[in-house]
Structure 1
Amino acid sequence: MQVFLETDRLVLRRFTEADVDNLCDLDGDPGVMRFLSGGKPTPRDVIQNETLPRLLHYYECFAAYGYWAVTEKSTGDFLGWFEFRPLKDGDPGEVELGYRLRRSAWGKGYGTEGSRALIRKGFTELGVQRVVAMTMTVNTASRRVMEKAGLTFVRTFHQSWPEVIEGAEHGEVEYALSRAEWERREAETSGQA
């Protein structure tokens, strides 16, 4: 297992071919897929032939970026994944943060814990200048994770999707955190300790 990052409770590691069932279980949950596909599960053949190869390909292109399977440290249980990668056709110093966790992992602070660890790694080790995250406006749980991870609201925007899902009429939101803002907050926090 190639570990990318560890936190108090989580291990973020590279995906492997053996993760097909984990991804099928994750993307097969209508609650998990609510704000992604309107609750429709991703078919196994799509995960096996498109999704997993795409996730694995990122490691070839960007050694320190991509999609990371997340497991609970004490049990080894697969909880989902985190995304931390450069935006397509964007500034190389700007990365996108994302996450998809099993329902059993919701409400336990795992999303915030993993996001904060990736942000810290990005700013302290990878030369990242800005982290952005996006979700549907109506996805309040994901927005809370972004806020708890230190990102702030930037804008609401609308984009076209192949299939419109409930809530899409309210648009998408973008949150962001610059390296300078993160460093300022870190200094304030360490000064209070």
Structure 2
Amino acid sequence: MSQVILRTERVHLTPQSDEYLEYQVELDADPEVMRHLGGARSREQVEAALRGNLADADRAVGLGYWAGFVEGHFVGYWILRPPGPVDQEPVAGQGELGFKLLRRYWRQGLGSEGSRELLRHGFEDLGLSRIGAMTGAANTASRATLAALGLRYVREFQADAADFPPGADPRTVEYAITQEQWHAVRSA
């Protein structure tokens, strides 16, 4: 199974491709969107990131990166990628969840909605056993979203400071949910 198109009530998630470069440039150029992700990126940095994302998506069947649209308008990106560095073999049965939205779509429940569908896809369609997520320790909005989705706090650690601009906070937190925990959350 290659990466599939996914839909929720409002969000249409389509596999990331070169045709969505301009959307990613807009998203990653916003310093507020990128505040907890190492800072705003130049076009060249976004182009390199896109190439890396597309290569990363090829590491595990069904996992990857999705562009999200609401009523035909780009709203952001969601990921359910193989965890770990791109140059390593993916951990079987695991995925890493993430999302980032254009500011004008914040606080509308879209991050949760798209992420909930990726959790469903990961556990039901792909049979994953565990899905993790990482965010900046100071990113209270993303942390609240992850907790509301049923992911549990695992740990805090220092990310590589070289990936952040001077003065930025490299503290990172990890959350995770197992397939069994996800089924329990859905049943509640």
User: Which range, TM-score by smaller chain?
Assistant: 0.7 to 0.9
Whichever residue aligns with residue 155 of structure 2, its letter is R
Q: 1:80 to 1:179 in 2, by over 3 A?
A: same
Alignment check: 8 A CA contact 1:27 1:42 kept: yes
Matched residues in 2 for 1:4 and 1:125: separation?
12
Corresponding residue for residue 70 of structure 1: 68
Identity %, equivalent residues: 36
Corresponding residue for residue 81 of structure 1: 77
Structure 1 residue 57, shift from structure 2 partner: 2.5
Corresponding residue for residue 111 of structure 1: 111
Q: CA RMSD in A?
A: 1.9
Structure 1 residue 185, shift from structure 2 partner: 2.5
Matching of residues 50-65 of structure 1 within 5 Å: 50-65=48-63
Give the TM-score taking structure 1 as reference length: 0.86
Matched residues in 1 for 2:95 and 2:4: separation?
20
Corresponding residue for residue 47 of structure 1: 46
Moved more, 138-147 or 152-161: 152-161
Structure 1 residue 164, shift from structure 2 partner: 5.0
Which entry has the higher C-alpha Rg, 1 or 2? Answer: 1
Structure 1 residue 186, shift from structure 2 partner: 2.5
Matched residues in 2 for 1:153 and 1:184: separation?
17
Q: Does the residue aligned with 2:35 lie in a helix, a strand or coil?
A: helix
1:15 aligns with 2:13: no
Structure 1 residue 149, shift from structure 2 partner: 1.3
Matched residues in 1 for 2:100 and 2:144: separation?
14
Alignment check: 8 A CA contact 1:85 1:96 kept: yes
Q: Does the residue aligned with 1:32 lie in a helix, a strand or coil?
A: coil
Matched residues in 1 for 2:97 and 2:14: separation?
16
Matched residues in 1 for 2:35 and 2:105: separation?
16
Count residues in correspondence.
Answer: 181
Q: 1:5 to 1:26 in 2, by over 3 A?
A: same
Alignment check: 8 A CA contact 2:58 2:64 kept: no
Deviation per CA, 1:16-43, whole angstroms, max 9, x where unpaired? Answer: 22212111110111110111124xx211
Matched residues in 2 for 1:168 and 1:129: separation?
31
Matched residues in 1 for 2:126 and 2:6: separation?
13
Matching of residues 1-193 of structure 1 within 5 Å: 4-38=5-39, 41-48=40-47, 50-72=48-70, 74=71, 76-88=72-84, 89=88, 91-162=91-162, 163=164, 166=167, 168=169, 171-187=171-187, 189=188
Unmatched tracts of structure 2, length 5 or more: none
Q: 1:23 to 1:164 in 2, by over 3 A?
A: closer
Alignment check: 8 A CA contact 1:37 1:165 kept: no
Alignment check: 8 A CA contact 1:20 1:52 kept: yes
Structure 1 residue 56, shift from structure 2 partner: 2.4
Give the structure with the larger helix fraction.
1
Q: 1:20 to 1:134 in 2, by over 3 A?
A: same
Alignment check: 8 A CA contact 1:151 1:175 kept: yes
Alignment check: 8 A CA contact 1:136 1:167 kept: no
Matched residues in 2 for 1:4 and 1:158: separation?
35
